[in-house]
């Protein structure tokens, strides 16, 4: 692993059988943009690598796929990452996160004040909270257990 700041576009350097691969890791909730490919490409020269990969827990924009192809940067999205992890750990079963509940439109109003409920995020996960917060502090869990 490289240092967190000033990593010159590589979060991880993999070496095996004389081959060096620089890896740019992106943990995003949205699709990864072209900057990640540009950083990974720059890391090839800086670290003397033969390949560059960008790995994410999400996916990539169409422009990112295009740029990666023309620069020979390998993109590993969530789906492929899970497959790689399972291949390295045969016999294990991944534990998916709780599935978001489907709530009808009628249930999307606050029972305390009648205002609209909105999906919010916290350190503990997602929940529905009253849109008139902080005046109304009503909350409803959004996870299926």
Q: Could you read off the pLDDT of 48-59 as tens digits, one per residue?
A: 999 999 999 999
pLDDT tens digits along 101-144: 454 544 577 878 888 888 888 887 888 888 988 898 888 876 54
Does 67 lie in the same domain as 18?
Answer: yes
As for how many domains the chain has, the answer is 2
Residue 126 lies in a domain: yes
Provide the whole-model pTM. 0.60
Does 125 lie in the same domain as 82?
Answer: no
Does 84 lie in the same domain as 32?
Answer: yes
Does 79 lie in the same domain as 137?
Answer: no
| Domain around 39 | 12-88
Residue 79 lies in a domain: yes
- What pLDDT score was predicted for residue 83? 87
DSSP string of the chain? ---SSS-TT-SEEEEETTEEEEEEEE--SS-B-THHHHHHHHHHHHHT-SEEEEEESS-B-HHHHHHHHHHTEEEE-HHHHHHHHHHHSTT----PPPPBPP--GGGGB-TTT-PBEEEEEETTEEEEEETTTTT---EEE-B--
Residue 54 lies in a domain: yes
List Cα–Cα distances, 137 to 112, 121, 134, 143, in angstroms: 9, 15, 6, 19
| Omega before 83 within 30 of 0, i.e. cis | no
Residue 123 lies in a domain: yes
């Amino acid at each position: 692993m490289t240092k967190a700041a000033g990593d010159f576009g590589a979060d991880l350097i993999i070496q095996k059988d004389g081959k060096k691969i620089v890896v740019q890791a992106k943990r995003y909730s949205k699709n990864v943009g072209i900057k990640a490919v540009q950083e990974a490409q720059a890391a090839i020269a800086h670290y003397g690598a033969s390949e560059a990969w960008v790995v994410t827990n999400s996916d990539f924009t169409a422009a990112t796929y295009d740029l990666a192809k023309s620069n020979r940067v390998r993109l590993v999205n969530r789906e492929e990452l899970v497959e790689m992890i399972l291949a390295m750990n045969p016999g294990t079963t991944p534990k998916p996160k709780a599935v978001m509940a489907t709530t009808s439109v009628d249930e999307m109003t606050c029972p305390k004040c009648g205002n609209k409920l909105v999906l919010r995020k916290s350190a503990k996960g997602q929940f529905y909270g009253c849109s008139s917060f902080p005046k109304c502090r009503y909350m409803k869990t959004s996870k299926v257990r």
